[in-house]
Amino acid sequence: MAGIGAFAAVTGARYGIGTLSRIGPGFFPTVLGIVLVVLGLAIAFTATLAQDHEAGRGHAAQDAPVDWRGYVAIVASMILFIVLTPVLGLVPGTFACVFTAAMGDRKMTVLNSAVLAAVISVAGALLFIWGLRVGLPYFGS
């Protein structure tokens, strides 16, 4: 996560950040990249602390089986977004992405995943299409 953030920050800075009153095209990717770097480092730090804590109790993190459901759901959600959004539009693509990713969590129900996906889809449409005036179709291409 930190590596992707660093790449986004460096690449975004090449487009010109601009000023706060006249934000350039590289501002958002640079800021988002920096946030990803900070979050990635925080996750790595807390994971190290948790691993040390578990090791002190005699539990080995390596003994736990890998939960492939979450990994498959996240990768599948990204693929669905990439494939469906150009064909079906932003709202259905976002819905499929969020719903699939949410189903990767064993505690999520189908209804909770659908509600979450609907809320995120509407919020995404409001943000990108009306708020930022990005020319993406709501439904269909």
Percent of the chain with pLDDT over 90: 35
Burial of 134 per CB tally in 10 Å (0-12, 13-18, 19+): exposed
**114 or 131, which is more confident?**
114
Structural contact between residues 6 and 33, judged by C-beta atoms closer than 8 angstroms: yes
Query: Whole-model pTM?
Result: 0.59
Residue 75 has pLDDT above 90, yes or no: yes
Residue 16: φ, ψ to 5°: 95, 120
Q: Which amino acid is at 49?
A: L
- State both tokens at 125: 């449409």
Q: Where are the domains of the chain?
A: 2-63, 68-131
Closest CA to 82 of 93, 95, 71, 74: 93
23, β-bridge pairs:
18
Q: Residue 23 gets which letter from DSSP?
A: B
**Given this model, what pLDDT does residue 61 score?**
53
